A = this chain, B = another copy of it.
Amino acid sequence: MATPPLHELGAAQAATLLARRELKAEDLVRACLDRVAARDGTIHAFVHLDADAALAQARALDAGPIRGPLHGLPLAVKDLFDTADLPTAYGSAVYAGHRPAADAASVAMCREAGAVLVGKTVTTEFAYFTPGPTANPHNPRHTPGGSSSGSAAAVADRMVPLALGTQTAGSIIRPAAYCGVVGYKPGLGRVMSAGVKSLSPTLDVVGAFGRSVADAALLGAVLTGDLRLLDDHAHGTLRIGLFPSPSWPQADADTQRAWEIATSALARHSDTCQDVAMPQNFDELIQLQKDVMTFEMARSLSHERLHHRAALSPQLVALLDAGMAISGATHQAHLQRTADWRLRIDSLFERHDVLLTPSTTGVAPEGLGATGDPLFCRSWSLLGLPAVHLPFATGAQGLPVGLQLVGRLGEDHKLLAAARRIHERLTR
C-alpha cells in the first residue's frame, strides 16, 4: 500500500507513528507547513503562522521523551484563543497586534500533551457573523462557515490534522459541515475556557476539529482530561433517536438527501433507529438561544462596545445595542427557561443513546460575505449538549454535507463511541 503524503496523515495514525519514533515531528510539521505554503494563498485559513517556531518545537520534541497523546502533532488554533507567542486579535481590528501574556488553558494543555502550535486561524469578528477572508477548500467561491472558519478549512485542506475551535451558536458544527470534516463540541463545562475571549458564558464551548471521529476524540480527550473518549467502540446495541427537528422545512435537498442516506444505511444494521417524540414548543429554543447570547455578548464585550464602537462591524454593533436593551430581569427569566429545558431534554436520553439531527440547512452557500445559518445548531448550543458533526455525503457542486449526532450531558464518551460506529457505517 502506498504511504499517503505526510500532510494527509490523520492525527491518530500520526500519533502512533510518532510515539513509536517511526515518524519525526519535524518531518510531519514541515510537510504541513509546505502544504500551508502551497495552499493558503487560496484558502486563507491562517491569520498568523510561525514556521520557525513550529519547526524548533518539533525538533525539541524529537530530541526529548514522548510528552503525551499529542506528541509531535501539528495543531492550528482559532484566533479567539490567547497565545503567548503569537498575536491574538479575536478577528477584530481593535486587537490588531495584541500580544496576550499567557496561553489559553486549552492551548497550554495541548502543548503539555506534545502538540506543535503551527499558527492561528481566522475567526469571524469576535466569533460573531462578520467573516474573515477564509475560503472553502472544496470550492473557494463558497464560505467555509464560521466562526471557526480557518480551523475547519485548515483541517479540511490537509494543512494540519487537528485544530481548536469554539461554539456559541453553531461555530464548530457548521464550519465542520461546510468543510466536510469532523467537529466535536464537548458538553458544556467539560473544557476550561480560561484565555478564550468570553462572549456568552452560558453557551461558549471549546472544541475540536479532525478528519475522523477518532482524531477529534484524541484532541477532545486532552481538552477534557477524560480518557474514556479514546475508547474504540460503543458497546451493545445503539438506540439512535431520529430528530429532524422543527426546522426540518428549512433543510434543503442536500440535507434531505444526507438524511435519506443515513437513515437507510443505519436501518441495515442491528442498531435501532426510532423517531423521537418531538417535545412541545421545542422550536422556542432558537429564539431563546438568540436572546441569551445577545444579552451576554453585549455585556461581555462592554469594553469594546464603549471604547471601540467605530471599529466594530455594523452587524456586531446592532447585536450589542439589542443586547443592552434586554434587562437583567428578562435575562434571568431566560436562564430559568434554559434550565427547565435542559432538564426536560435530559429525559429524552432515557429512550435514546444519541440523537441524529441536521447540522446545516445544506451545503456551504456561495460567497464569502456571510458564513451561513447556525439554525440547526442553536438549540443544542443552548442545551449545552455534546455534539459531533459527521461528514459522509456530497451535495450540490461537489460540496460536502452530513449530519450531527447529539449526546446526553455528561456522556461525551458514549457520544464519541457511537459517532465512530455510525461514521464507519456511513462512509464504508
Contact = CB atoms under 8 A, between A and B. Distances in A.
Interface of A: 84, 95, 98, 101-105, 107-109, 111-112, 189-190, 192-195, 197-199, 201-202, 221, 224-228, 295-296, 299-307, 326-329, 331-332, 335-336, 343, 410, 412-413
A95 B105 contact: no
B194 A198 contact: yes
27 contacts: A95-B101, A98-B101, A104-B303, A105-B299, A105-B301, A107-B303, A108-B302, A108-B303, A109-B302, A111-B306, A112-B302, A189-B335, A190-B328, A192-B198, A193-B198, A194-B198, A194-B199, A201-B201, A224-B328, A225-B295, A225-B326, A225-B327, A225-B328, A329-B413, A332-B410, A332-B412, A343-B343
Q: How many copies of this chain does the complex contain? A: 2
A227 B336 CA distance: 18
Nearest to A342: B339
A306 B105 CA distance: 10
A315 B138 CA distance: 52
A86 to B, nearest CB: 14
B189 A303 contact: no
Nearest to A112: B306
A324 to B, nearest CB: 8
B303 A103 contact: yes
Contacts of A199: 194
A300 B198 contact: no
Chain B CB within 10 Å — which of A84, A104, A296, A299 has the most? A299
Nearest to A224: B328
A105 B194 contact: no
A331 B225 contact: yes
Given A101-B98, A306-B111, A190 B300 contact: no
Query: Which 3 pairs show the lowest CB-CB distances between chains A and B?
Result: A226-B328, A225-B328, A108-B302
Contact of A202 (B111, B189, B225): B189
Given A105-B198, A194-B300, 4 more contacts: A108-B303, A111-B306, A193-B198, A198-B198
A226 B98 contact: no
B303 A105 contact: yes
Contacts of A192: 198, 201, 296, 299-300, 302
Contacts of A410: 332, 335-336
Nearest to A108: B302
B328 A227 contact: yes
A224 B304 CA distance: 19
A103 B228 contact: no
Nearest to A111: B306
A341 to B, nearest CB: 14
A327 B227 contact: yes
A326 B227 CA distance: 12
Contacts of A326: 225
A40 B257 CA distance: 71
A304 B227 contact: no
Contacts of A190: 328, 332, 335
Contacts of A109: 299, 302
A199 B303 CA distance: 21
Contact of A303 (B84, B303, B304, B328): B84
Nearest to A100: B101
Given A98-B101, A189-B201, A189-B335, A227 B329 contact: yes
A316 to B, nearest CB: 15
Contact of A228 (B102, B111, B303, B329): B329
A409 B107 CA distance: 33
Chain B CB within 10 Å — which of A190, A192, A304, A307 has the most? A192
A312 to B, nearest CB: 13
Nearest to A187: B332
A198 B302 CA distance: 18
A84 B192 CA distance: 24
A300 B328 CA distance: 28
A106 to B, nearest CB: 8
